[in-house]
Amino acid sequence: MDHAADPLEPAAGVIVLTSRTMHTTTTVLHEGHEAVLVDPAWHADELDAIADLLAARSLRVVLGWSTHAHHDHLLWHERFGTAPRLATTAAARSAVGHIDEVRAALAADLRPLAGQVKAYDGGALPWAGGVAEVVAHDAHAPGHGALWLPGVDVLIAGDMLSDLEIPLAGETGPEAYARGLDRLAPYVERAAVLIPGHGHPALAGTADSPKARLRADRAYLAALTRSADGGGDDPRLAAGPAWLRAEHEGNRRAARTSQASEDAPRAEPAT
């Protein structure tokens, strides 16, 4: 993909923009003249284009939300203003603790504003627009904070449930990832639209539905320890870049380690 995709509006009050890098999504929630920016990404010109879109629609950013503390989800642009930028407490703690790593992964012009998120553990985003419930878990990254929009049945999933990426469980492990999927499952069941952090929105009633995404990720995790290349036949790997295959191998190692720990004999309690 050598250019950013055109903005999509999969539900009322929801705009999705896609970066030219790794199909990274930015989601804009808006009501009246106020807007929430979720994971704005990725390059300076793309962030500037987001600001242009907001200006064209007379939208003022009142809040930023980072779904987790990876560098591509902690970006900002001076034209977005000085609205509060929030993440779950665990994600904000991780961002602060790894701020040098976060900024080192970015181009120099993006570093000054990156990672400036504050801890928030409320049940819904603090803005006057439609309800955006925070759905926190520890899959993919500690304190990953998805958003559920009950008014329009939209799940903003962060780096989960992608059509292009397998579960990336290297940071927290396959077991935590499976628990995260369980946490998201009730929302997936109700979702008309699912927006992943990388990839394309999934629409209910289609072959690539939110429920199909959940089934695919659960099947992948379940297959990790079943064969010599468990999960290696996932179509996302066949079509994906080399780094995704490396992530798969990391998942395999983590799954084997976990399985070995479960199979190890337990010491008998002292009597």
**pLDDT tens string 118-141:** 999 999 999 999 999 999 999 999
β-bridge pairing 25-31 and 14-18: antiparallel
Q: Specify the pLDDT at position 254.
A: 86
Rounded CA Rg of the chain: 19
**pLDDT tens string 29-69:** 999 999 999 999 999 999 999 999 999 999 999 999 999 99
User: Which one-letter DSSP state was computed for residue 13?
Assistant: T
Other Cβ atoms less than 10 A from the Cβ of 103: the count is 18
Q: Are 130 and 114 in contact (CB under 8 A)?
A: no
Q: Specify the pLDDT at position 130.
A: 96
Q: Are 155 and 203 in contact (CB under 8 A)?
A: no
Q: Are 64 and 95 in contact (CB under 8 A)?
A: no
How far apart, in whole angstroms, are the C-alpha atoms of residue 92 and residue 110? 18
Q: Specify the pLDDT at position 262.
A: 57
How far apart, in whole angstroms, are the C-alpha atoms of residue 241 and residue 139? 22
- CA angle 101-20-141, nearest 5°? 40
Q: 6 phi and psi, to 5 degrees?
A: -65, 150
Q: 14 phi and psi, to 5 degrees?
A: -130, 125
Q: Specify the pLDDT at position 268.
A: 61
